[in-house]
Every structure is written in structure tokens, then in C-alpha cells.
């Protein structure tokens, strides 16, 4: 993640201007800090046990042979990951507000492995539309898939007390936000136990060129966005300001670009330059002569791998981030407090799923004359906790 020199200079000038001493008589502001001095430094270290969801990464369909209305989609299942986040800044004296920098990074990964040898019930959702599956029907009897995603989130926020009374204190927030989001998904679809006569042992070693090659697919998307953020924070003291309930809500509007890519390969059987069609009777046309040599039509059959790739760079995308949290904070020392709670952040339109559509084959090359682009979002939610210092 990079911040431009202009942005950095502006933030430094803003911080210097806010920290400049101004003449004022000593008095208590709404936050309980007096006007004398420049304020207090704030440093917080926290851990957020977040679980991502809503990424829309279904990679296989499972067919129920006994009920055509009972097919299911299967995707990745993410577990909770404990990731650290940091906040630091200053509480400015004289009710001049608070300036905070918040940095959060999250790395997630998931795998999917399914097997049903000999029963081709797995639909290849990510594969090329043409020649997918052993019988060109888009079905496999095993699938291996994996995905990784990376989130980098930086917020620079200025806030001031909006209103305060004996029961609740509220602060409005405004600032700048920068977001990087990356994901990559890869899938391999297998034909573990094909039913061709040529694969009955021991002839499988005699016709190795007929061993079915797996179909593969990979997707990548990378988003870089920046924009404005705003929201409100609420505090409700319960016990002499030592125990406080807190909640927040925020909205960020970002403008950015997406780089996205799709790659996939399928294999097909070819005889004399012509593509064979299921049920591939040519593969059963062979015999072993008196010299122990395999002869027949099957010997002349070859496999051809066809592949296709699509790329799209610097696609303009607008992203919306909605976040909310609720928790509690305990003042353990005059300079230290402990906090915990629950937080949810929804990152809207931070990825693009690119797929080929309306393709045609020339030789061993698949060409796409059309493509589909689907916006993806991600939601992170879970419990957080940490410790903060003021000095």
C-alpha cells in the first residue's frame, strides 16, 4: 500500500496545525482534558478474530443422480483468523479533537478437496465452457481447489465531540481511507477412474497418452481504492468513567481500480486432426499382437490441451465500506485501558470475477469473443480485544 507524497504532506500539515499551542484559559473540555499543554498520545494494540464471508467463491456443483432438483453448490469454508491491528494518534487539548491512524491487515486461505472415484458427479464451475470434463459434459470425479485473500486497510481519522451529557458522549468522525484487496483462486478437476477399456490394467502403461489430463482454472483480482470515511462513536460511562460501553458506525466511499485475470486449460482427444466425441469408441479399438505390441486405432489417438486466458487492467470501481462495532472499555490504570467487543466490516465491490463467454476453438487455442464480469464483496466479522495507552 502506497500513500502519495501530496497526501502525506497534507496530513503532516494538518497534525502540525492542530498541535500548535493557542492562547486559552485553563478549563475542562467535554472529554475531561484541560486546555493546558498540547494533549495526550494514544496507542492501541488489538487483535481481531475475524472470519471472512460473502466472497461468492463456489468452485464445484455436486449432482444428486437420484434427484435432479437436489444438486448443491460447494465453495470454500473459512475459519476464524486472529489478526493484529494498531491505532495511534493524539487527543488534542482544549477540545480540539482527536487524530488517529488505524492499520489492519488480514490474510486468509482455504482449501477444498472432494473425491468420488468413478462417479462423475462434480460440476466444474470454474473450468472453460468448452471440452470440460472427461466426456465434454463438464463433470469430474474429483476436485482440488484453494484460495488466498489479502486485505490491507488504512484509516486516518479526525474526530471531535458532537454532544455530551451525563449518560452518553458522541463524537463525529471524518477522514481518509485507503484499501488494498487481493484474492486468488485455483482449481483442478480430475478424472480418477475413467471407464475406457484402454485404462484396464496392465494396458494403462501401454497407452500413457490416453490417461486423461485434469482440467485447471485460476482467477485473480486485485483492488486498490482510496476515498473518504466518516461516522459516529458513542460512549456510555457506567462506573465513574472507569467502565464504559462503546459503539460505532461508519461509512467509507472509495474510488479505485481493479486488475483481474482468468486462466484455464482443458484437454480433449484428437485422431487424425479431428476432435473425438464421447463415448470415445476409438479408445477401445486396440489389441496386443503376437510380439506383445499394442496395435489399433487407440494407439493413434492423442490428447490436446486447449487453454484460454483473459485479462482486464485498471477497471474503475467504486467501493462502499460499512462498519459497525459494539464493546466495552475498562480503565485499568490512569494511563492504560483494556477493551473488547464485536466488530463487523462489509467491503462492497472490492473484487471482480472475470469469466470467458461465447468462445470458439481454433486448433489448440480457445478464443473468447465475450466475457462476464461479476462484482464481489467481502464481510469480516468477529470479536476483538486489546489494550490502549494514553501518555
List b or e across 306-330, with b for residues whose CB sees 16 or more CB atoms inside 10 angstroms.
Answer: bebebeeeeeebebebebbbebebe
Tens digit of each residue's pLDDT (9 = 90 or more) over 306-333: 888 888 888 888 999 999 999 999 988 8
End-to-end Cα, the chain, rounded Å: 30
Is the sign of the CA dihedral 16, 22, 28, 29 positive or negative?
Answer: negative
pLDDT band at 202 (very low <50, low <70, confident <90, very high): low
pLDDT band at 9 (very low <50, low <70, confident <90, very high): very low
pLDDT at 205: 54
Mean pLDDT, residues 232-245 taken together: 89
pLDDT at 379: 92
**Is 50 exceeded by the pLDDT of residue 8?**
no
Is the sign of the CA dihedral 55, 57, 63, 69 positive or negative?
Answer: positive
Please state the φ and ψ torsions of residue 18, each to the nearest 5 degrees: -70, -30
- Radius of gyration over alpha carbons of the chain, in Å? 30
Mean pLDDT, residues 144-167 taken together: 93
Please state the φ and ψ torsions of residue 240, each to the nearest 5 degrees: 50, 35
**Is 90 exceeded by the pLDDT of residue 348?**
yes
Tens digit of each residue's pLDDT (9 = 90 or more) over 36-79: 567 899 999 999 998 887 776 789 999 998 888 889 999 888 87
Mean pLDDT, residues 12-27 taken together: 40
**Is 50 exceeded by the pLDDT of residue 6?**
no
pLDDT at 101: 96
As separate numbers, helices (DSSP H) first and strands (DSSP E) second, the chain gives 1, 17
Neighbours of 340 (CB within 10 A): 14
Give CA–CA dist 57/145, Å, rounded: 11
pLDDT band at 352 (very low <50, low <70, confident <90, very high): confident
Mean pLDDT, residues 155-170 taken together: 92
Lowest-pLDDT range of 7-11, 44-48, 301-305: 7-11
**Is 70 exceeded by the pLDDT of residue 365?**
no
pTM above 0.85, yes or no: no
For the chain, which domains are there?
5-390 (2.40.128.90)
Q: What is the DSSP letter of 199?
A: G
pLDDT band at 143 (very low <50, low <70, confident <90, very high): very high
pLDDT at 18: 43
Amino acid at each position: 500500500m502506497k500513500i502519495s507524497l501530496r497526501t502525506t504532506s497534507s496530513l503532516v500539515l494538518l497534525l502540525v496545525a492542530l498541535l500548535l499551542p493557542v492562547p486559552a484559559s485553563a478549563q475542562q473540555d467535554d472529554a475531561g482534558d484541560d486546555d493546558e499543554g498540547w494533549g495526550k498520545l494514544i496507542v492501541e494494540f488489538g487483535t481481531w478474530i475475524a472470519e471472512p464471508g460473502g466472497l461468492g467463491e463456489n468452485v464445484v456443483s455436486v449432482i444428486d443422480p437420484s434427484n435432479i432438483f437436489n444438486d448443491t453448490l460447494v465453495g470454500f469454508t473459512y475459519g476464524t483468523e486472529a489478526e493484529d491491528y494498531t491505532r495511534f494518534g493524539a487527543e488534542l487539548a482544549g477540545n480540539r479533537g482527536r487524530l488517529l491512524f488505524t492499520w489492519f491487515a488480514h490474510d486468509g486461505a482455504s482449501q477444498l478437496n472432494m473425491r468420488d472415484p468413478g462417479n462423475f458427479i462434480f460440476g466444474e464451475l470454474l473450468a472453460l465452457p468448452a471440452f470440460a470434463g472427461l466426456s465434454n459434459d463438464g463433470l469430474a470425479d474429483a476436485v482440488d481447489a484453494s484460495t488466498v485473500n489479502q486485505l490491507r486497510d488504512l484509516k486516518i481519522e479526525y474526530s471531535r465531540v458532537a454532544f455530551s451529557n451525563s449518560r452518553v458522549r458522541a463524537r463525529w468522525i471524518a477522514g481518509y481511507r485507503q484499501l488494498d484487496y487481493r484474492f486468488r483462486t485455483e482449481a483442478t478437476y480430475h478424472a480418477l477412474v475413467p471407464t475406457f477399456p484402454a485404462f484396464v490394467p496392465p494396458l494403462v502403461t501401454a497407452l500413457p497418452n490416453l490417461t486423461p489430463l485434469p482440467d485447471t482454472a485460476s482467477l485473480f483480482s486485485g483492488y486498490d481504492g482510496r476515498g473518504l470515511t466518516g461516522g459516529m462513536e458513542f460512549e456510555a460511562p457506567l462506573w465513574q468513567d472507569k467502565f464504559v460501553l462503546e459503539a460505532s458506525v461508519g461509512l467509507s466511499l472509495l474510488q479505485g481500480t481493479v486488475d483481474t485475470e482468468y486462466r484455464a486449460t482443458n484437454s480433449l482427444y484428437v485422431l487424425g486432426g479431428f476432435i473425438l466425441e464421447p463415448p470415445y469408441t476409438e479408445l477401445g479399438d486396440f489389441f496386443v499382437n503376437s510380439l506383445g505390441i499394442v496395435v489399433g486405432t487407440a494407439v493413434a489417438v492423442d490428447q490436446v490441451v486447449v487453454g484460454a486466458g483473459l485479462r482486464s487492467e485498471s477497471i474503475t470501481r467504486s467501493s462502499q465500506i460499512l462498519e459497525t462495532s459494539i464493546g466495552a472499555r475498562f480503565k485499568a490504570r490512569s494511563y492504560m485501558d483494556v477493551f473488547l467487543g464485536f466488530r463487523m466490516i462489509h467491503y462492497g465491490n472490492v473484487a471482480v470475477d472475470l469469466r470467458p463467454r461465447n468462445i470458439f476453438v481454433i486448433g489448440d487455442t480457445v478464443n473468447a469473443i465475450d466475457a462476464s464480469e461479476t462484482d464481489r464483496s467481502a464481510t469480516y466479522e468477529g470479536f476483538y480485544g486489546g489494550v490502549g495507552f494514553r501518555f
